[in-house]
A and B are shown apart, each in its own frame.
Chain A
């Protein structure tokens, strides 16, 4: 039996409580770097952090949907790369800008469809399917480019996806903000979003309550693929050329951002807000450590340690807060 108080308290505090760990981490890093280096605390640097994190942010949004639905996608780096390459080639060969962008998004969506279809239709773990698709995507982008980066000279493209500024912020940060709002509404305010949580939480139960689990997951893969295609487009614009090889560590960093935020790796529990905090944590960490001239090799060590430490802390937090809840909840878990 729940008291009136806890009934009132839970909906209000529950969404905040599990994120407060990562929120605390972000604030702690923020204060630390502000004190540790004179270059951190200024507006231009904050804009930098946003600009540097944009590609990762888009991929991490995609990964949030994937992980929430109980799946995984290890092809993001390779798919982002091939989407960027095809967009750049289309521009080079004189296609109109909107068409070239559509090609990039479409490539991502097609790869997502492949991932989702094979893994759902044939009951193959998405870990394996996306590993295979990554390998194939890498081979295709190497072949069509003969292993040379494709430079992007189109001024409109560069300004539209990287250089333009609006109210001081670079345009890719605006895209991230816009996508965040759109995806948040999709996830939290639509039946589709509910279905994503449902299939990730308990696929069988979702199936029995009439949710076409496989179809929901395929749609999630296609959506994520299109987002990754967009990440590839942003990356190509930022570098001024589309690189052939997979975007460095994109899927692993995206997984780290999602999990750092506290979204459950087994699906069904989590949110985009948490992912945003995870992205912020990684972005501030990268930026601050570089400003402090920490050797890039030691940055890897520190980042790895923080991923493990944060997840351990989050696990401890969740268990501790569970043990404070009424007995019924614990029975439900068991």
Chain B
């Protein structure tokens, strides 16, 4: 292929090559949408890029990022977990009621993380040992866990007042002079670095990719597939419990169904980022990208003062567009 063919069609082909579309397609679509907003509303850009709004996007995306990190591991290993929203909700009300019962907050948080690990362990054990699709197992635990959270609180929101907890996990900032980083953002960045290290620099991470790419060959290569999968479910439980900590600290209360629905948003973020739904291919970086795309879109739609309905439609359309972009960049069909 000559790289000096400068006819219009050839340039188009070069720009919109499968590789380029795959790597930059979604970002390009979002930028195009922002451009349209900017054309429609003259003041859009000055508001959108104001430092206050950028911080807003960060704040609004924290929970999505945390839950999506958990989902990334689960999807990479070739499984699915639709109970993470329920686990987070239960962990949240547990932490809040323990603090109300006089526990110091670090202990309450530890208990919450332990609960997440426990439910994750249950998910993993039943999936692996019972050889049952994780969708079904987590459908069951979703029901059990959200029933427990509702029963524990009699279905109502429980309030708490613990300034140390709220300062530490939500209201605190790290002052860098030029800008301030809110505590949840700091936590998210730290967790990203830690999880990314785990996924890309450790044997466990390599095993996650191997198992997701093909459990049978991973087993033949001597990887203890069962343990890797159980480990991933436990990790996911702990990470979403951490999301619950940020959630409760931010709101100052615990809601028995507060985080239900995050499982679907998290799946959307992972898939929009381009991680393969069938496992083995993808990365945490892509998930960050996917979650930020959703966050930016949500925020932009709000700034345009379009209503909640349109947000839903945009989210649905983005999911489908993202997988179409992925399809185009792969250049293949399933049949």
Contacts and interface: CB of A to CB of B under 8 A. Distances in A.
B54 to A, nearest CB: 26
A143 B309 CA distance: 6
Nearest to A123: B334
B319 A300 contact: no
A226 to B, nearest CB: 21
B271 A128 contact: yes
Contacts of A315: 130-132
Interface string A109-144: 000000000101111110111011111101110110
Contacts of B333: 121-123
Contact of A305 (B144, B151, B277): B144
Interface in B88-138: 126, 130-133, 135-137
Nearest to B130: A312
A75 B284 CA distance: 27
A300 B277 contact: no
Contact of A265 (B126, B135, B308, B332): B135
Nearest to A122: B327
A123 B277 CA distance: 12
B335 interface: yes
A213 interface: yes
A259 interface: yes
Contacts of A123: 327, 332-335
Q: Which of A122, A255, A308 is the most central at the interface, judged by chain B CB atoms within 10 Å of its CB? A: A308
Interface of B: 80, 126, 130-133, 135-137, 139-148, 150-151, 154-155, 264, 267-268, 271, 277-278, 308-313, 315-320, 323-324, 326-327, 332-335
A254 to B, nearest CB: 11
A139 B316 contact: yes
Given A139-B316, A301-B144, A255 B139 contact: yes
A311 B143 contact: no
Per DSSP, chain B at the interface is helix
Given A143-B310, A297-B148, A308-B140, 15 more contacts: A122-B333, A123-B327, A124-B327, A131-B316, A133-B316, A139-B316, A255-B139, A295-B151, A300-B146, A300-B150, A301-B144, A301-B148, A305-B140, A308-B136, A308-B144
Nearest to A255: B139
Contact of B313 (A72, A125, A127, A135): A135
A267 B311 CA distance: 34
Given A131-B319, A303-B143, A124 B135 contact: no
Contact of B312 (A136, A256, A298, A312): A136
B324 to A, nearest CB: 6
A148 interface: no
B141 A207 contact: no
Contact of A256 (B139, B144, B267, B271): B139
Main secondary structure of the interface of A (DSSP, over half): helix
Interface of A: 72, 118, 120-125, 127-129, 131-136, 138-140, 142-143, 147, 207, 213-214, 252, 255-256, 259, 265-266, 295-305, 307-308, 311-312, 315
A132 B319 contact: yes
A301 B335 contact: no
A88 to B, nearest CB: 18
B270 to A, nearest CB: 10
Nearest to B320: A132
B316 A136 contact: yes
Contacts of B277: 125, 127-128
B335 A207 contact: yes
Contacts of A142: 308-309, 312
Among A72, A125, A131, A315, the one with the most B-chain Cβ atoms within 10 Å of its Cβ is: A131
Given A136-B312, A214-B335, A301 B147 contact: yes
29 contacts: A120-B335, A122-B323, A122-B324, A122-B327, A123-B327, A123-B332, A123-B334, A124-B320, A125-B277, A125-B278, A128-B323, A131-B264, A131-B267, A132-B315, A132-B318, A132-B319, A135-B313, A136-B312, A136-B316, A136-B317, A139-B311, A139-B312, A255-B135, A255-B136, A256-B139, A266-B133, A297-B151, A308-B132, A312-B130
